[in-house]
Amino acid sequence: MFYLTLVICFFAAILLTPLVKKLAFKIGATDKPNHRKVHVKIMPRLGGLAIFLSFLIGVLINNPDGEYHLPILIGGIIIVLTGMLDDVKEISPKLKLAGQVAAAAVVVIWGNLNVDFINLPFGGKIEFGFLSIPLTMIWIIGITNAINLIDGLDGLAGGVSTIALLTIAGMSIIQGNMYVSVMALILAASTAGFLLYNFHPAKIFMGDTGALFLGFMIGVLSLLGYKNVTFISLIIPVIILGVPISDTFFAIIRRLVNKQPLSAPDKSHLHHCLLRTGFSHRQTVLLIYAMSTVFGLVAFIFSQATVWGSMIVILTLLIAIEIIVEKIGLIREDYKPLLNFMKGIKPINMKNNN
């Protein structure tokens, strides 16, 4: 029965997206091209509504039973309304943030979903106390905006989100958390159906309606299986969401280095850098899909490793990320400390061999 639900969600998104596209043009939810954007014609940008409605259909059919189910749905409705308002009216960043805070507060405060403490790898634990609520809200809001930030190419945010959701679902099945796996798979199926219209060349954008909703749901679902656990397992959702988190992290570093406001838009995100390197639109998206898949596989390996093994995995992953960042100029074109260091080692080894 559940597999049938996933098929229904997939085809519901396929059937609903053309209707949402017509609605977007009718109410003015369109995206005009400018110097920061890749597209060159006016595009409808309310596509996330089709994802949300398909997701709701799946939830109503399957009716998953979970402690946080109602708060998550109400929070999801708040975030979708916030995104729709922005897609139609382009609301201020402060008002958009207020909607995100309200959605996160419903889940964290009313739903009582918060990370109270973490057990440290070599003994002891850190209790967050009164900070548990704001820290959990920061996580949800941070992931919400991270998905929104990578929504810069056709099919990019939708594909990365689908890969992250499938990874979360797989990890949750291993842990026996069926609620999270069901919710993640329903959302993944709905997003996959929408991607048929959103992959390059896109016929419709998901807009903030979709990016904020997907980011919110991924932020919440990634926490559900990992609250009140070890420091090691708390890193798992960070690895799963490695692409949007690292892109957001380096965007902050880039703006600090260049002495720009943190909210300043630019054309130096991961996808922009890959395009400048010479990859086509479609190749860039597929390459980032591959990166997201690698992060998902690393999360699985990490979850099964010993403490020391997991440390080695993290160190290897961080070095790989740094090399990619320097290669494509994600912070700045002349920022290459590790690559320069590695170049300096080679001549020394050559001299020693001679």
* Mean per-residue pLDDT pooled into runs of 10, the chain (354 residues): 93 97 93 62 91 97 89 97 94 94 95 77 72 90 90 90 94 88 96 94 93 95 69 75 88 83 75 88 92 91 81 90 88 83 66 52
- The CA dihedral of 66, 181, 73, 91, to the nearest 10 degrees, is 150
Distance between CA 91 and CA 55 in Å, rounded? 25
Nearest to 190 by CA among 23, 9, 48: 9
Q: pLDDT tens digits for 35-89?
A: 555 555 788 989 999 999 999 999 999 988 888 999 999 999 999 999 999 999 9
- DSSP code of residue 131: G
H or E element in which residue 119 lies: strand 117-119
Q: Domain ranges for the chain, please list them.
A: 2-344
Distance between CA 326 and CA 331 in Å, rounded? 7
Give the pLDDT confidence score for residue 232 in this predicted structure.
60
Give the pLDDT confidence score for residue 349 in this predicted structure.
52
Give the pLDDT confidence score for residue 226 in this predicted structure.
63
Give the pLDDT confidence score for residue 217 in this predicted structure.
96
Tell me the DSSP string of 32-91. ---TT-S--S-EE--THHHHHHHHHHHHHHH----TTHHHHHHHHHHHHHHHHHHHHH--
The distance of Cα 96 from the centroid of its chain, to the nearest Å, equals 18
**CB of 180 closer than 8 Å to CB of 237:** no
Give the pLDDT confidence score for residue 149 in this predicted structure.
84
Distance between CA 144 and CA 299 in Å, rounded? 20
Query: Exposed, middle or buried, 335 (CB in 10 Å: 0-12/13-18/19+)?
Result: middle
Query: Exposed, middle or buried, 201 (CB in 10 Å: 0-12/13-18/19+)?
Result: exposed
Distance between CA 185 and CA 191 in Å, rounded? 10
